[in-house]
Amino acid sequence: MARAEEAAPPKLAVVIAVDQLRADYLVRFRPYFGEGGFKRLLEGGADFRDAHYRHAITHTAPGHALILSGVHSNVHGIIGNEWLVPETWESINCMEDPASPLVGINPAELGPTQAARPDKTGRSLKNFQATTVTDQVKLRYGANSKVFAASNKDRSAMLLGGKLADSAYWDENGKFVTSRAYRDALPAWVEAFNAEKRCQAAFGKVWDRLLDPAIYEQVQGPDDAAGEETGLGLGRTFPKKITGGKDAISPTFYTAFDNSPFSAEFLGEFAQRALVEEKLGRHPATDVLCVSFSQVDTCGHSYGPDSQEVMDSVLRLDRVLAALFARIDQEVGLAKCVIVLTADHGGEPMPERVQALRPDIPAGRIKPADLDAAAKKALDAAYGPLEGKELWFTRDTYAYFVRPAALAAKKLTAADVAKVLKAGLLTAPGIATAFTYVLKPYYQIKTGTGATHGMPYAYDTHVPILWWGAGVPRGVHPERVSVEDIAPTLAALLGVPTPPQAMGRRLF
Ligand SMILES: [Zn+2]
């Protein structure tokens, strides 16, 4: 690296996360990328081909919490997207904070559940206990630098922006909103963007493939595949009309919109607007723009990684990125920027597809009720059934919590019960091990249709890491690296201290 480059920190760091962007998508879809998007990073930057998460719960919040902090849940505290609080026996969202109400939307607008419990709609990083590279930028430069984060999901925007972000926005029902943790009111430009009703204007819009359908057939297989979801008025096949299956705008329209690549375009337009209105890249010190695109994940859950829908979503996101990078070039000059792009986790193939292609590989869907039944059966057999309506346990996504009343009633210790519970779970098909428990590869706790992620297997841990800009060694880097290496590497590129607990290493 030339000394002149070392002397001038970038004007703008661009951190892109793509929710559920499996590493292999960049290989399989590469021939169909346009100019200036993924190709710009792949050809002009550093492409780390074997980057993995080293944590087991490969979900959105733990992933985003790691990307710019370089630490795992044992430090940052974001163990899942939601979890059960044993003191109250209530499930909370990882970003939940009654003291930080949403700004820009009334809880009642979000739906009946939220209207009934507005205290559960507030959002902040109260539960996040780590320091991010974005925090380090603000700690170093204060008001001389601006950190701006946006996503389709609240947790993804906030966890990249960090606690000191100047603003973090996410979309709810077609509007970009924030929380009291960041500001008391939306700035005029966000109000104006929302007033344009760009999302609502997509009602009735048709989503069809960007390229010749034969290409999708060849790369991904048939459009109508076993295991794909059929809901939200979208059906299993192209073309798809984005209405939510209703004649007028309703909550399902917004869910259908989130599932369509139009929501990635919506976020891309918002990021471009932010760039101009917030004058990003034009402050005395380095600014940071964080954007996390959620639609590839939403679509991946509905149709699986091998679907034509996911291919088209990635190709359309490529065009959104190209437009964003072009805008950054125009406003700031890309030569003065560094870009890093990664994902929060990968994604598991549909069990139906695995079974169709390799019937010898065990694969399947697990009904949570069957797991609960196996656990209860083992406990009843060991200690006798509980009286009345008392329950042995409450389950959240990955753990069984033994209820204290059950322990008291049977005069047992939690350790005794855990041993029996674990043995009981291991009798259920699809369970590989139980710390709590881990599924065998190609099994998922998702009945019916759709795909998921959240296990410590390569299909869920393997994500891309692409770097672009001054100081980045161009080329393909085949060695195994970890996502926790992003934080120390970015901190070094920006000339700010590494987050204090970051455990990764500098990639270059
Ligand atoms: Zn995710």
**Predicted confidence (pLDDT) at residue 5 exceeds the cutoff of 70:** no
Which tens digit of pLDDT belongs to each residue from 209-242? Answer: 999 999 999 999 999 999 999 999 999 999 999 9
Q: Which residues pair with 431 in a beta bridge?
A: 439
Distance 251 CA to ligand 1 centre (A): 21
163 CA → ligand 1 middle, Å: 20
Give the model's pLDDT for residue 7.
57
Q: Could you report the per-residue pLDDT of 19-55, keeping only the tens digit for each?
A: 999 999 999 999 999 999 999 999 999 999 999 999 9
DSSP 337-391: EEEEEE-S---PPPHHHHHHH-TTS--EE--HHHHHHHHHHHHHHHH-PPSTT--
Which residues fall within 8 angstroms of residue 388, CB to CB, at 6 or more apart? none
Instruction: Report DSSP letters for 7-67, one per residue.
Output: HS--SEEEEEEETT--TTHHHHSGGG--SSSHHHHHHHSEEEEEEE--SS---HHHHHHHH
Q: Residue 291: how many CA atoms within 13 Å on its side-chain side?
A: 24
The rounded Å distance from CA 348 to ligand 1 centre is 12
Q: How far is the CA of 452 from the centre of ligand 1 (A)?
A: 10
CATH number at 364-444: 3.30.1360.150
DSSP-assigned beta bridge partners for residue 149 = 168, 290
- How far apart are alpha carbons 282 and 5 in whole angstroms? 18
Give phi and psi for 339, each to the nearest 5. -125, 135
Three-class SS of 381-442: HHHCCCCCCCCCEEECCCCEEECHHHHHHHCCCHHHHHHHHHHHHHCCCCEEECCCCEECCC
pLDDT at 1: 46
Strand partners, 452: none
Same CATH fold assignment for domains 3-350+453-494 and 364-444: no
Rounded distance from Cα 95 to ligand 1 centre (Å): 14
Domain limits, the chain: 3-350+453-494, 364-444
Residue 355 C-alpha to ligand 1 middle, in angstroms? 25
343 Cα–ligand 1 center, Å: 8
> Is 60 exceeded by the pLDDT of residue 4?
no
CA of 2 to the centre of ligand 1 (A): 38
At 221, which amino acid appears?
G
How confident is the model at residue 2, as a pLDDT? Answer: 46
pLDDT surpassing 60 at residue 448:
yes
Residue 408 Cα to ligand 1 midpoint, Å, equals 39
Confidence check: pLDDT of 389 > 60: yes
Q: How much distance in Å is there from the Cα of 102 to the middle of ligand 1? A: 22
Q: How far is the CA of 416 from the centre of ligand 1 (A)?
A: 35
pLDDT digits (tens, 9 = 90+) for 89-109: 888 999 999 999 999 999 999
Residue 458 CA, ligand 1 centroid: distance in Å: 15
pLDDT-above-70 percentage for the chain: 98
Tens-digit pLDDT profile for residues 109-160: 988 889 999 999 999 999 999 999 999 999 999 999 999 999 999 999 999 9
> Kind of pairing, strands 431-433 and 438-439?
antiparallel
Q: How far apart are CA 309 and CA 305, in angstroms?
A: 9
Fold of 3-350+453-494: Alkaline Phosphatase, subunit A (3.40.720)
Q: Specify whether the CB–CB gap between 453 and 348 falls below 8 A.
A: yes
In this predicted model, what pLDDT tens digit does every residue of 409-429 receive, in sequence order? 999 988 888 889 888 988 888
User: Cα(174)–Cα(78) distance, rounded to whole angstroms?
Assistant: 27
pLDDT in tens, 156-203: 999 999 999 999 999 999 999 999 999 999 999 999 999 999 999 999
pLDDT tens digits, residue range 272-311?
999 999 999 999 999 999 999 999 999 999 999 999 999 9
What's the CA-to-centroid distance between 345 and ligand 1, angstroms?
A: 6
For residue 459, report the distance from its CA to the centre of ligand 1, in Å: 13
State the distance from the centre of ligand 1 to the C-alpha of 80, rounded, in angstroms: 11
Ligand 1 centre and the CA of 379: distance in Å?
35
The alpha carbon of 100 and the centre of ligand 1 are apart by a number of angstroms equal to: 23
* CA–centroid distance, residue 175 to ligand 1 (Å): 21
Whether residue 436 has pLDDT greater than 70: no
Contacts of 355 (CB under 8 A, 6+ apart): 361, 363, 364
Higher pLDDT, 4 or 260: 260
| Mean pLDDT, the chain, integer | 94
- Mean local confidence (pLDDT), 459-470: 96
Ligand 1 geometric centre to CA of 450 (Å):
15
**Per-residue pLDDT reduced to its tens digit, 311-364:** 999 999 999 999 999 999 999 999 999 999 999 999 999 999 999 999 999 999
